[in-house]
Amino acid sequence: MAAPEEMDYKAFEEDLNMLVQTLKDSFESSEVEYHIDEINETLYIKLEGLEDYAQAEIVEIAGPILEELDMDFEEIIFLPF
């Protein structure tokens, strides 16, 4: 049986992949990358085509997704690919 820390990390990784894939689909992006800054507890998500959306549209699309999946980051920053 896997150690509790390993199971927690695997669940975190699955949640993160689900978040990234859901955002990719929601913004109709063909490319997506992410980077975790563990020191600052920040998640950076680069999405192809993000520059085509106004800031209000990004908040409107991403807000409910981020609330639903509730990742444990201090900050999540979206960047164009």
pLDDT per residue, tens digit, the chain (81 aa), is 455 566 688 888 999 999 999 999 999 999 999 999 999 999 999 999 999 999 999 999 999 999 988 788 999 999 999
Domains of the chain: 4-80 (3.30.70.2210)
**pTM, rounded to two decimals:** 0.86
Tokens 């109709």 locate to 28
For residue 28, which amino acid is it? E
Nearest to 72 by CA among 4, 7, 6, 15: 15
